[in-house]
Structure 1
Amino acid sequence: MKFIELTAKEFSKIENNMPGATYLQTTTWANIKKANNWESYYIGVKDDSDKIIAASLLLARKILLNKKIFYSPRGLMLDYKNTELLNFMIDNIKVFVKKHDGFMLKIDPLVEYRHHNSDGDIIDEEFNNIDIHNNLVNLGFKHKGFRVGYVNDLQYRWSYAIDISNKTYDEVFASFSSKGRNHIRKACKYPFIVKDVNEENLKDFKEITEHTAERHNHFDRTTDYYKSLIDGFSPENRIRIFVLYLDKKKYLKDFTDDKMYEEIKKEEQDLIPISCAMFIMDKDVVNYVYSGSYSKYNYFNASYMIQNEMIKWATEKHYKTYDFGGISGNFELDSQDYGVYAFKKNFNGRVIEYIGEYDLVINKFFYALYIYGYDLYRNSKKLLAKIKNK
C-alpha cells in the first residue's frame, strides 16, 4: 500500500464512490469552508494495483501560535473493518498532520454503532461496531463518548431516517403513521406554493431561519453562508432549498371559516412566507440540513407539507434513504427535545446511532489548551444566544 496526497481534481473524481461518501467529504465542501479560514488537504491510500482504496478531505485551521486542528468531517472514507488498511492510514496521517503543524485530528465516521427501530429500541442484539471503536482507541484516538443529547459534537451522533429504496411515493406515504398522514392531508388542503430559493427570496429563507434560531436560543447561519451552499452545490444539482408560501387571495376566498382567517387577513403580502427547508444530496441519500418556520403559523402543519413534497421528489429520483437529520437520542416523553424526534417519528423510519467523535492527539500541550478554549467558547456562545433572544 502507498499513502498519497491528492490534488483537488484527483479527489473530485473519486469522492462520490468511496465507502462512506458524503457531501461533507467533497472539494465543494472544502471550498465552502475556505471562507471560514479552513485550509484543505486531500489524502488517500493506493493498493498494489494503483487503485485508491481509502481517502479523506482533511480540513485544517490555525488555532494557537500557528498550530492547527485537523478535521475529517464524517471521515475517513474507507472500510473500517479492514484493520490493516485502517492502521496504515492512521499511521501515515499522524506523520502528515505533524508535518503540517497539526496538534490533533478529529474524526466522526459515518459508521453506525447499533441498530434501532423507530422507538429507539435496539433491534439486533448481535450487531454493533464495538470492534471498530476498539480499533480506533487502540490506535490512540480519544472517544468523546456514546453520548445522548445535543452536546458539543461537530456532527450529530443520533439521526432519524426512512428507507425509500425501490418504493413508490404512495407506498412510502402509506407507511407513515396515521397522525403523520392526517397532518399532511390537512396541510395539502391549503393554497401553498413551493418556491425554490434564489437571489430574490433568499431574504425570506433567512428571516425564517433567524426566527427559528431565536425561538430555540441558538445562533443562525449568515446569509453569505447559505448563499455559499447554493452556489457550491447547485452546479452539481446536489441541493434543494425552498420556501413555502401561502397564497393570501386564494386562502381568503376559500377559507372564510378557518381558524387563521383573521390573522392572515392582516398580512400585507400576497404570498406569505410560512416555512422553509434546505436539502443536500449524496449519491443515494437525501439529507435534511436546515429548516425553519414561523411559530404563529404552526396551525397549518407547513413542516409536514415540506417533508411530504421532498419525499415525493426523492422517490421519483430513486434515492434510497431520506435522512431527517439529528435527534437527541433521548426517547423519554419529558425530554427537552422530544418534539423534534416525535415530528420525525411520524414518518415511520428508524433511529440511527453513529459511533461518535474521536480525537487523535499529536501534541498534548496544545490539545489541552484547545479543549479548555473550545468548551469555554461553546458555553459562552450558548449563553450569548439566550441573552440575545430574550
Structure 2
Amino acid sequence: MSEAWRTRELTEEELDELSATSPAGGFQQTSRFVEMEKASGTQTEIVGLVDEHDRPVAGTLVAYTPGKMGVQGSVWLGPLVDADNPAMVTAMTGALRASAKRHGAISVAAWPGDLYRKYTSDGEPDGQPEAALMENYGNAGWRHEGFTRGYGSIINNWVYVKDLTGLDTPDALLKTYSKNTRRNVKIARNSAVQVRRMDRAELDVFHAICELSSEKQHFQNRDLAYFQRLYDAFGDHADFMVAEIHLDDYLAGWEDKLAKFSRDETRLEKSLQTTKYPEDVERKLKTAKQNVESAHRRIADAKQRIERDGHVVPAAVGLFIWHERELVYYSSGSDERYAKFYAPTALQHEMMSRAIARGLNRYNFYGISGIFDDPSDPGRGVLEFKQGFNGYVEELPGQFTLPVSKLRFAALQAAHKVLGR
C-alpha cells in the first residue's frame, strides 16, 4: 500500500540494485552515470521510495542543470517505478517534486524507459500500447509532450532490439541474421578485420571516426571530453571497441588467392587442348581468368591503401555499455572508404557474441528514427543496417514534464511560444 512507502535519498549502491532488477533498468540509472554527471559539474540526487523495512521499491537519478529561465531537472530513462501502479507513480512523482523544490527547479523532465508499444522489425504493431502508463503519469501531474518520430536530441523514443534468448554460440547467432548480413560477417572475417577494445589514450581516434559519421549523417557528435568522462566513470562496464583492417594480412590473402586462380587458369588452358567437352572447360576458364583479374585489382588496391593509410587501419568504432539487463550499442562511427570491408557488421557480431557468452538475452541497438515507410528518410540506412540482424522495435513513451514552480513554468512556456520552440 502507498501509505507504507516512505521517501528518502538512496545510496548509489541502492540505485544499482534497483536498476539491475527493474524491467526498465538501464545504464543511465546507475552509480556509474551518477559519477559521470558529477564529473561534468552537474548537481544530482537519487530520489527513492522505500517500504516499511526501508528497502527501495522505486527510485531514480535526477540531474539539475541551470537554464536561462532557471534550474531544470532531468530524469533519463527513468524513474524506475512500476508504471502500472498508479499509487506508486503518484508517490514517486511527489518525491521528485519535493526534490525539485529543494533544488529550486522550475520543472522536471522525464523520459521513462518503460515500453510503450512493441513493433516488428518492419514497423508493424505487435501488441497494444501501454495505456495505463500514460494514464498514471497524467493523473500524477505529468504533461506528455507528444509522440514523435525521428532522432531525439536527448533520448531516442524508438529503439531496435535483438532477442538473444536461446542462442548459445556465435554460429547459432549468425544463423538468425538476414542472408546479406550473414554474408557481410563472412566478408569481414575473410578481409582481415579484427575487433579489439581501445585504451583511454586512443579515445581521440574513437572520437575522430565518430566525427566522420556525424558529418555524413548530419548529427552532432559528442565532444572528446564526454567520452573521456564516460570511460573513467564506467570502467569495465563500457567497451570502446575498434574494428581494424590488417592490410598486410589482407594483401597476403589475395596473393594466395591469385596463386590459386593462376594455377586453375593454367590447368584449364592445358585441359582445353585435350578435353571432349570444350564448352564446359571454356566456361570454367573464363571464370578463372576473371578471378585472376579480380585478384590483381584487389592486390593493387591493398598496396595503395597500405601506402596511403598504413598497415593497420581503424575502419569502424563502437561504444558498448554493459548493464545487468542488456548490452547497449550506444555510439559509433565508420570510415566510408572501407565500407566494403563491413567492419561495422563485424563489430556487431562480435559484441552480440560476447553478450551471449555473459548470459545476456537482450542486445539494444539503440536509436532508430521510427520511420519505416519513407525510403528517403535520413535514418533509412541505419534502420536497414539494424534490420539485417533480425530484431524488433520498441517505442518508448517519450518526454513527460512535471511543472514544479507554476508561475515560472508558465513564464517559460510563454517564452518558448514567442521563440517558436
Aligned to 2:339: 298
Distance 1:342 1:274 in 2: 20
CA 1:356/1:222 → structure 2, altered by over 3 Å: closer, same or farther?
same
Corresponding letter in the other structure for 2:200:
E
CA, structure 1 residues 61+242, in 2 after alignment: closer, same or farther (shift >3 Å)?
same
Aligned residues: 373
Q: Contact 1:156–1:327 at 8 Å: present in 2 too?
A: yes
User: Which residue of 321, 325, 328 corresponds with 1:287?
Assistant: 328
Q: Please identify, of 285-294 and 34-43, the stretch whose mean Cα deviation from structure 2 is larger.
A: 34-43
1:348 matches 2:390: yes
Q: Distance in 2 between matches of 1:198 and 1:271?
A: 16
Structure 1: tracts of 5 or more residues without a match: 380-390
Report the AA paired with residue 132 of structure 2.
Answer: D
Shift of 1:213: 1.5
Q: Which residue of 2 aligns with 1:111?
A: 114
Going from structure 1 to structure 2, the CA distance change for 1:277 and 1:378 (only over 3 Å counts) comes to farther
**1:112 alignment partner, SS class:** coil
- Cross-structure match for 1:88: 91
Contact 2:47 2:99 in 1 (8 A): no
Looking at structure 2, the residues matched to 360 and 230 of structure 1 have their Cα atoms a distance apart, in angstroms, of 32
Equivalent runs, 1:144-155 vs 2, <5 Å: 144-152=145-153, 154-155=154-155
What is the rounded CA distance, in whole Å, between the counterparts of 2:416 and 2:204 in structure 1? 32
1:194 matches 2:195? yes
Equivalent-residue separation in structure 1 for 2:417 and 2:76 (angstroms): 19
Residue 275 of structure 1 aligns to a residue whose secondary structure is strand
Alpha-carbon contact 2:47-2:95 (below 8 Å) kept = no
In 2, the alpha carbon distance for the partners of 1:376 and 1:177 equals 49
1:384 alignment counterpart: none
- Aligned residue for 2:331, secondary structure, equals strand
Q: What TM-score, normalized by structure 2, do the two folds share?
A: 0.83
TM-score, normalising length: structure 1: 0.89
In structure 2, the residue matched to 1:244 is 243
Contact residue 18 and residue 55 of structure 1 kept, 8 A: no
Identity among equivalent pairs (%)? 24
Q: Which moved more, 1:47-56 or 1:344-353?
A: 47-56
Q: Map of 1:184-333 to 2, 5 A cutoff?
A: 184-234=185-235, 237-255=236-254, 257=295, 259=298, 260-261=301-302, 263-332=304-373, 333=375
Deviation at 1:262, TM superposition (A): 5.3
Distance 1:339 1:372, change over 3 A: farther
Q: 1:269 to 1:375 in 2, by over 3 A?
A: farther
- Whether the 8 Å contact between 1:118 and 1:348 is mirrored in structure 2 is yes
Q: What's the CA shift string for 1:253-273, capped at 9, x where partnerless?
A: 223525543541432422111
Match status 1:63 vs 2:104: no
- Greater Rg over alpha carbons, structure: 2
Q: Say which structure is richer in helix.
A: 2
Residues in 2 aligned to 1:281 and 1:374: alpha-carbon distance in whole angstroms: 37
How many Å separate the matches in 2 of 1:211 and 1:16? 35
- Write out per-residue CA displacement over residues 338-371 of structure 1, whole angstroms, 9 at most, x where no aligned residue: 1111000000000111111111111345435656
Structure 2: gaps of 5 or more residues: 256-294
CA contact (8 A) 1:204 1:243 kept: no
RMSD across aligned C-alpha pairs, in angstroms?
2.4
Q: Offset at 1:29?
A: 0.7
Match of 2:138 in 1: 137
Q: Is the 1:166–1:318 contact (alpha carbons within 8 Å) kept by the matching residues of 2?
A: no
* Higher deviation after alignment, 33-42 or 128-137: 33-42
Deviations 1:9-64 (A, max 9, x none): 55445443344221101121122122333111011111223321111111111224
Aligned to 1:334: 376
- For the Cα contact (< 8 Å) 2:241–2:319, is it kept in 1? yes
Does the 8 A contact of 2:18 with 2:57 survive in 1?
no
Letter in 1 for 2:173: V
1:52 aligns with 2:52: no
